[in-house]
Chains A and B, each alone.
Chain A
Amino acid sequence: GAVVSQHPSWVICKSGTSVKIECRSLDFQATTMFWYRQFPKQSLMLMATSNEGSKATYEQGVEKDKFLINHASLTLSTLTVTSAHPEDSSFYICSARDQQNTEAFFGQGTRLTVV
């Protein structure tokens, strides 16, 4: 099946710093990518929908100025957590569907720990 790659797999950062997470579709083009967040023992919660060449759409309660999303090409979307705080510590997962709209493929996730 198609492959979605996330980088880094894990990151530890200090409070107040920013962290960028990359999501790449390796063998297909994705006009739409999705960013999820998952806290321990909870399910995945959608944060935002990333559209190539246009502004991302954020879910209610997600601060767009804190979670910056850039989808500059059909194979790359980035999520930047700005001015990170310990409560931003979570598992961040991206997902992409190819242009034929087959099943969604997920990255391996990024474990963010803010200290």
Chain B
Amino acid sequence: DAKTTQPPSMDCAEGRAANLPCNHSTISGNEYVYWYRQIHSQGPQYIIHGLKNNETNEMASLIITEDRKSSTLILPHATLRDTAVYYCIVSPWGSARQLTFGSGTQLTVLP
């Protein structure tokens, strides 16, 4: 699976949008971009995934650049409960392969 690069930490004010970047310059054509988050001492939680189009669900929006070499996860109105480690992962869809986790971004939402 392609490697991803994320900043180790970010802060965001409560109520503001949190924009988490991810670089995946070696992504292959069949690889999707997944985002998961892990709140302290819990298992990872699925957030969103996409191939090349921008995606939105009730939790977040995913913006993927046209060349697919980077993406941004947007939490439109961050709350204190969004404080977590956010992982950007690239992996083929429809595969029984495991997800490979990098070091992620520790997002801290400040009151």
Contacts and interface: CB of A to CB of B under 8 A. Distances in A.
A62 B74 CA distance: 37
A25 interface: no
Interface string B82-102: 000001000001111011111
A77 interface: no
A105 B46 CA distance: 7
Contact of A46 (B34, B46, B94, B100): B100
Given A6-B43, A93-B44, A101 B103 contact: no
B28 interface: no
B101 A104 contact: no
Contacts of A104: 46, 98-99
Nearest to B93: A101
Contacts of B44: 44, 93, 95, 106
A97 B99 CA distance: 10
A46 B42 contact: no
A6 B103 CA distance: 23
B68 interface: no
Interface of B is mostly: loop
Question: For chain A, which range describes its interface: under 10, 10 to 19, 20 to 34, or 35 or more residues?
Answer: 20 to 34
A31 B102 CA distance: 25
A108 B43 contact: yes
Interface of A: 1, 4, 6, 31-32, 34, 36, 43-46, 49, 91, 93, 95, 97, 101, 103-109, 111
Interface of B: 34, 36, 38, 41-46, 49, 87, 93-96, 98-104
Given A49-B98, A95-B43, 12 more contacts: A6-B43, A46-B98, A95-B44, A95-B99, A97-B96, A101-B93, A101-B96, A104-B98, A106-B44, A107-B43, A109-B41, A109-B42
